[in-house]
Amino acid sequence: MTPLILILVSYLIGSLSFAVIVSKASGLADPRSYGSGNPGATNVLRSGNKKAALLTLLGDALKGWLAIVLAQVAASYLGLGPEVIAMAAVAVTVGHMWPVFFSFKGGKGVATAAGILLALDWRVGLLTLLLWLVVAKGMKISSLAALLAALLAPVLAWIWLPSSAQITAVVVISLLLIWRHERNIRDLLTGKEGSIGEKASGAS
Ligand code: G3P
């Protein structure tokens, strides 16, 4: 029963869409109604409100981190295997992408995945984040940075994560994240993908 509760709690934590919550609290429009329509920090930044974008990024990363830490604590107190932590990682990602509180219209999982990776192993999290930062700063395209980070994460997970269940979870999360970037991949291939911070109309 406990693993099921942990998975459910992780899903519910993931379902807190900080892009929508922070936007509402900041008097901004629902990010699903402008720009790319994605409830994520990159799209909130298109509103021009940097503070709201940063809070979205931190909130979404924190929930990924929290779900893993909760699962780690529960696993160590109750003597559960690493599979529970792996399942919590996938569940919090699924919650973010298909949130029960927001009509199942969620984000692409980038910030949440960063929080998950940092909690699973700081080296995996930090190096993945570093690649994201280098590409985002150098190329100024958020989705490209996310996609390259999603390719790197499973390799780093394979090197450092202690169990095959957790490595598999990282592979599944990367595949989900790439799938959610389907439109971005098409726009990248046709040269139509916009730069980070380009403003969108209809955000306030
Ligand atoms: O974090 C999501 C990012 O990789 C792409 O967002 O709004 O440009 O589709 P967006």
CA–centroid distance for 94 within its chain: 10
- Longest Cα pair distance anywhere in the chain, in angstroms? 52
pLDDT of residue 201: 78
Count of alpha carbons within 13 Å of 110, Cβ hemisphere only? 28
**How far apart are the CA of 110 and the centre of ligand 1, in A?**
8
Taking the CA of residue 147 as reference, the ligand 1 atom at the shortest distance is 4
Read off the pLDDT of residues 86-118 as tens digits, 9 standing for 90 and up: 999 999 999 999 999 999 999 999 999 999 999
**How far apart are the CA of 144 and the centre of ligand 1, in A?**
9
pLDDT of residue 66: 98
Cβ-Cβ contacts under 8 Å for 155 (sequence gap 6 or more): none
Q: Are 26 and 51 in contact (CB under 8 A)?
A: yes
Q: Which residues in the chain show pLDDT less than 70? A: 1, 204
pLDDT of residue 200: 87
- Residue in the block written with tokens 């700063």: 137
Q: Ligand 1: residues whose CB is within 6 Å?
A: 36, 38, 40, 42-43, 108, 110, 142-143, 146, 184
**How far apart are the CA of 89 and the centre of ligand 1, in A?**
20
| Ligand 1 atom 1: residue of nearest CA | 110
DSSP character at residue 100: G
**How far apart are the CA of 108 and the centre of ligand 1, in A?**
7
pLDDT of residue 1: 57
> Which ipTM was obtained for this model?
0.96
Taking the CA of residue 37 as reference, the ligand 1 atom at the shortest distance is 7
| Ligand 1 atom 9: residue of nearest CA | 36
- Residue in the block written with tokens 């995996």: 124
